[in-house]
Amino acid sequence: MASVIVVDDHELVAEGLRRVVAEQPGHEVVAVLASGDALLAHLAAEPPPDVCILDLSMPGTSGLELVRLLHEDHPDLRLLVCSANASAEVAVRCLRAGATGFISKFRPQKDFVVALGQVARNERYIDADLMSEVVSRLTTEPSLTVRHERLSEREYDVMVALARGDSVKDIAAAMFLSPKTITTYRTRVLAKLEVRSNAEITAYALRHGLIELNAV
């Protein structure tokens, strides 16, 4: 029996995922949570499940920062990232940060069931529409001609948060870093993306599909 936690801040999505998982033989939903912070608190008090189905964009600790924290603190936890922001860039970043699988929220239920099964068996799953590009990126060095591929993983997290309109103070709190450190990362992001303001960071991120329009 594979134990599963569903983490998504959209109640209808979370309930839908819970029902799909519960319908699969050999899978048991042990918790449904609405934020990365709630997940971290749960894991501090309870044994980790076998699988965590994780939304990428939530209040508080989320995104690649959350994927990295989970992978570092619970290396045996299998992470299936289920995101509305389904680009090859995001998928590659998630897999490199420690996710076991990545799937778009817009895939049909049958694809999600396949993804859940593979991840539960500790097999990598990549969204079918992204497979070719993701595999290519994972097996080659980043192309520095694409500006955001110049960013380190931490810089990328800061860039995404800034693009969504988060303040330096809020980003610092979510990442457990000082505002001064986040300001330093912001300076590096501006330089590497060759932009001059947070508004230009947002425009760049939207243009490259790194964030969703409704996240701004």
Give the tens place of pLDDT for each residue, 123-162.
999 998 888 888 887 777 655 557 888 888 889 889 999 9
Q: Is the pLDDT of residue 21 over 60?
A: yes
pTM for the structure as a whole: 0.77
Taking the domain 147-215, which CATH number applies? 1.10.10.10
Domain extents in the chain: 2-138, 147-215
DSSP per-residue letters across 63-127: HHHHHHHHHHH-TT-EEEEEES---HHHHHHHHHHT-SEEEETTS-HHHHHHHHHHHHTT--EE-
CATH class in words for 2-138: alpha beta
Q: What percent of the chain has pLDDT over 70?
A: 95
* Residue 81 bridge partners (DSSP): 54, 102
Task: Supply the DSSP symbol for 57.
Answer: -
